[in-house]
Amino acid sequence: MTEPITTMPSPFRMDYTYVAGTGRSVFLRGLAERRLMARCCAGCEQVYLPPPEFCSRCLRELEPPFELDGRGVVSTFCVVSFPFPGQRIDPPYVVAHIQPHGAGTRLMHLVREVEPEDVHIGMAVEPVWVSDDELDTSLLSIRHFRPVHYGGADA
């Protein structure tokens, strides 16, 4: 007689305020100035990047922030090879775990300016920052990482 009701859309909208926290805001402010700010725990000598306010191992406040140059190595990576919603660049592209020199933690970021098939574990990389007008308190202030070309300032 009548069609059964099989689905019923029930849209929700929820808006949130995210709190950065004092520890994280040091890092975010640094990004807006092209600076990667790390902090060290005096208890276990772990260097956190990004740094929280406390060392979870030792339950103590971290030491004052200091700057790292962001150069590091690819500890591992994958090549995103297919399109899906939310992408900002066309596949294929490389998403890598980067181990910055001097940091005890890893950052996840894009590796570009190199063919995906030429990326390898252990490859030396450096951050490429956005232009002045695009700088923001966000990891997107680093556009991506690229291979370090030794043998000249800009070679």
Residues that bind another protein (CB under 8 A): 6-8, 10, 12-24, 28, 46-47, 52-57, 59-60, 75-82, 84-89, 92-93, 95-97, 103-106, 108-110, 116, 121, 138-140, 142
Identify which of residues 44 and 78 has a Cβ nearer to Zn ion in the complex.
44
Please, which of residues 27-56 interact with Zn ion by CB under 5 A?
A: 41, 43-44, 55
For tokens 């951050």, what's the residue?
127
Identify which of residues 54 and 66 has a Cβ nearer to another protein in the complex.
54
DSSP calls for 105-149 = S-EEEEE-SS-GGG--TT-EEEEEEPPGGG--SSGGGEEEEEE--
Residue 2 interacting partner from Zn ion, another protein, none (CB closer than 5 to 8 Å by kind): none
Do residues 142 and 32 make contact, with C-beta atoms less than 8 angstroms apart? no
CB 86 to another protein: min, Å: 4
Distance CA 37, CA 18 (A): 21
Give the list of residues 6+ apart from residue 77 with CB closer than 8 angstroms, or none: 94, 95, 96, 97, 111, 119, 121
Site string for Zn ion, 120-149 (x = CB under 5 A): ------------------------------
